[in-house]
Amino acid sequence: MKEIYVGTSGWAYKAWQPDFFPPKLPQKQFLHYYATKLNAVEVNYTFRHLLSEKTIANWLAETPESFRFVLKAHQSITHFHHLRNVDEPLLRFLSSIQPLAAVHRLGPVLFQLPGLCKADAETLDLFLAMLPRSLKAAFEFRDESWFQQSTYEVLRKHRAALCIAESEAFSTPQVITADFVYFRYRKPDYQAGERASIATNVTRISERVQEIYCFFKHLESPESPLHALDVLHKLSLAAQKVS
């Protein structure tokens, strides 16, 4: 079976009690419990902060070896410099996440560009050439000018993924550019039929790639982890039928 990871953007939300987290579970145990239900998490913390070795050690102690941490790249790289002249901030960021990579617990790194950043295939190409080949890089573009063949060609050249994101206002074309796929589901709600369609689509695409990562947007209510749990369950059932 191909590796399929499903989770949410973050985990430390008391509003998820009691529907997802048990009602009396201490917040310091949230990650451990989360990792018994879902197999990956997207971490927004790294967008503004560098990880410490202590934080990484705590995360590793609270989760099984099969669990993956997917990190958002620091804003100094994507929002301050728009991928240009980023030698120093990129080195700092990559150094901070190395302990996760060293024990094979790091999933993709999400480079999320701001909406005002227009397409620039040359800059993207130069930036991707700076990344370690072992790093799984996914790019979320928020301006439609990026959705063209020149972008896809650069991503394929460097085996980087186009992040396929959807919200109420914006959707990314479903174009596969790497041996893994990264989905971000950002709408405030997904009805049962929509979740079934997500599972069907992921199952179909899994025949073409090695790994798939799916993340639901954090909400101040437990729908996000419950939706993720439902999709992961549907994917497990689909895999059992195939086997």
Going residue by residue through the chain (243 aa), what tens digit of pLDDT does each one get? 579 999 999 999 999 999 999 999 999 999 999 999 999 999 999 999 999 999 999 999 999 999 999 999 999 999 999 999 999 999 999 999 999 999 999 999 999 999 889 999 999 999 999 999 999 999 999 999 999 999 999 999 999 999 999 988 889 999 999 999 999 999 988 999 999 999 999 999 999 999 999 999 987 789 999 999 999 999 998 888 766
Which residue range(s) make up the domain with 47?
3-242
In angstroms, how far is CA 205 from the centroid of its own chain?
17
104 conformational bin, left if phi > 0, alpha if psi -120 to 50, beta if neither: left
Are the C-beta atoms of 180 and 108 separated by less than 8 Å? yes
CATH code for position 136: 3.20.20.410
Length of the chain: 243
Are the C-beta atoms of 97 and 51 separated by less than 8 Å? yes
**Whole-number pLDDT of residue 29:** 98
Domain count of the fold of the chain: 1
In Å, what is the CA distance from 44 to each residue of 1, 2, 111, 114, 131? 29, 26, 11, 15, 20
Token pair in block for residue 176: 């596969």
E strands along 73-200, which residues? 106-112, 137-140, 161-166, 180-185
In angstroms, how far is CA 120 from the centroid of its own chain?
23
